[in-house]
Structure 1
Amino acid sequence: MKRKIKRGKNQFVVKHPDGWAVKGANNKKATKVTKTQKEAIEKANEIAKNQKSDTKIQGRDTKFRGGNSYGNDPYPPKDKK
């Protein structure tokens, strides 16, 4: 029987009045506010790695433009040969 690995909250990098914020999923307050998006992405990735969760990045146009995934993927992509 496989044990389900508990994953932490996904981390979101979002625009903030003081720069860029890192917020955990469903959190009202930012975990960290930085001056640059790059700094926020680095912090979000660090947290996501520790929690085995995902990072989602909001672009300057407010649309989410990608991110990173950490931890075990129960449905990894299959190689197309």
Structure 2
Amino acid sequence: MGKKSIHVVPTGDRWGTIRDGGSRHSNLADTQREVIAAARDQARRDGVELFIHGEKGQIRDRNSYGNDPYPPRG
């Protein structure tokens, strides 16, 4: 089984990260910026996708730090 993507999501009045299929948040912080920095480092180490969600849950940005399923064309 491959490593699971990381999502930066709002959780109550704070921000946190959660893995695909996970039920517990980690890297909780008061600002999205703080959580994004930690999540980006983790995604690079693990070689996974990073999804950044907005306040209403919509995906607003996405980065691949591993096997990109849609690499740029040459």
TM-score for both structures, normalised by structure 2: 0.85
Q: Give the Cα–Cα distance (whole angstroms) in 2 for the partners of residues 29 and 74 of structure 1.
A: 26
The aligned counterpart of 1:44 is 39
Q: Size of the alignment, in residue pairs?
A: 74
- CA-based RMSD: 1.8
Which structure has greater strand proportion? 2
SS of equivalent residue, structure 2 residue 45: helix
Gaps of 5+ in 2: none
Letter in 2 for 1:71: G
Give the match for residue 29 of structure 2: 34
1:61 maps to which residue?
56
SS at match of 1:8: coil
Q: Does 1:72 align with 2:56?
A: no
Q: Give, in whole Å, the separation in 2 of the partners of 1:26 and 1:41.
A: 19
Identical residues among aligned pairs (%): 32
Residues of 1 paired with 2:2 and 2:29: CA distance?
A: 25
For 1:14 and 1:75, the matched residues in 2 are separated by 23
Q: Quick one: which amino acid aligns to residue 73 of structure 2?
A: K
Cα distance, 1:61 vs structure 2: 2.7
Structure possessing the higher radius of gyration over alpha carbons:
1
